Amino acid sequence: MKIAVFSTKPYDREYLDKFNRDNKHELIYFEAPLNIDTTNLAIGFEGVCIFVNDKIDKKTIDKLSEIGIKLIDLRCAGFNNVDIGAAAKQKIKVMRVPAYSPQAVAEHAVALILTLNRKTHKAYNRVRESNFSLENLTGFNLYGKTVGVIGTGKIGTAFCQIMLGFGCKVIAYDVKESEKLIAKGVEYQTLDEIFKNSDVLSLHCPLNVNTKHLFDRTAFSKIKKGAMLINTSRGALIKTSHAIEALKNEQLGYLGIDVYEQEENLFFKDLSESIIQDDLIERLMAFHNVLITPHQGFFTNEALDQIALTTLKNFTDFENELPLVNEVKL
């Protein structure tokens, strides 16, 4: 297949080319994101391959249909940036990588917890300047703490298992409870109970109409004062302005995010010589108890291998009219 690959970085090319050695598929790489303004780049292609911050709304899909695109393949698990209904109407198939390395994202969530708690990032900077003081580096034992997990799919399950290993009490919320996790000691509770009882909350649910701004002013008012909130899922699960309020009034004790509501204008870019125009993220970065990483939870060798392999398999399955096991449907 001839595929236009959008929002590409050097590592995308490296891993896709690594598993496309026989050139079974003709991959043409574009650094530009795919949206209504860049659809002309896809003229002459059979399919497009996109990432988390490409904007595939109805107008974009209609335009893709006009130029003959038959496949939209996401090299990620989430698909909230694609209008699935509009794609179905235009008979464009949508595929994704449903599971590449749940452990990669789960482990990154734990890294955020440990860094925020034990302040290793601050200690590192201090020691680099020959400052060996322990002042203001106090943390807390994770052992025995209550960790609330919202969403117990593959990533949430991996995260639960890690936290159980730390000796934490793990409570969870999901519309579908996992018998395997229950057998391991995870206790399912209502959302309000999760808010009330958790010392640490970690988000592992998809973004949809029911979960958008799940953490707003109301939710923050219900959490245990001083609790830690971790988000490695999708940025819009948290209403950023309300999180800032909760940080200012010390209702929220710590915030660790690998995703951000307006990340498409920031993440995956080097803006070190630019003036950041996003006042909300600038405010977040000013808090000493906030840790932000640039959507790197998936960024391990194992995950990148699996993303590339599954993405290429999706192309092959579509081209050969095989069952589309990774198809996204309404």
Active-site residue, 295 included: yes
Does position 99 have pLDDT exceeding 90, yes or no?
no
pTM over 0.75: yes
Amino acid at 34: L
Q: Which residue out of 108, 234, 261, 264 is catalytically annotated?
A: 234
Q: What percent of the chain has pLDDT over 90?
A: 96
Active-site residue, 234 included: yes
Q: Which residue out of 46, 261, 263, 264 is catalytically annotated?
A: 263
Q: Which residue out of 75, 96, 108, 295 is catalytically annotated?
A: 295
- Here the tokens at position 253 are 């004790």
Eight-class DSSP state of 25: S
pLDDT class of 292 with cuts at 50, 70, 90: very high
Looking at the chain, which residues constitute the CATH 3.40.50.720 domain(s)?
2-100+301-319, 102-292
Active-site residue, 242 included: no
Residues 6+ apart with CB under 8 A from 243: 215, 220, 229, 252, 255, 284
CATH of domain 102-292: 3.40.50.720
pLDDT class of 254 with cuts at 50, 70, 90: very high
For the domain with range 2-100+301-319, which CATH number is right: 3.30.360.10, 2.60.40.10, 3.40.50.720, 3.40.710.10?
Answer: 3.40.50.720
Whole-number Cα distances in Å, 126 to 114, 120, 122, 138, 276: 18, 10, 6, 14, 26
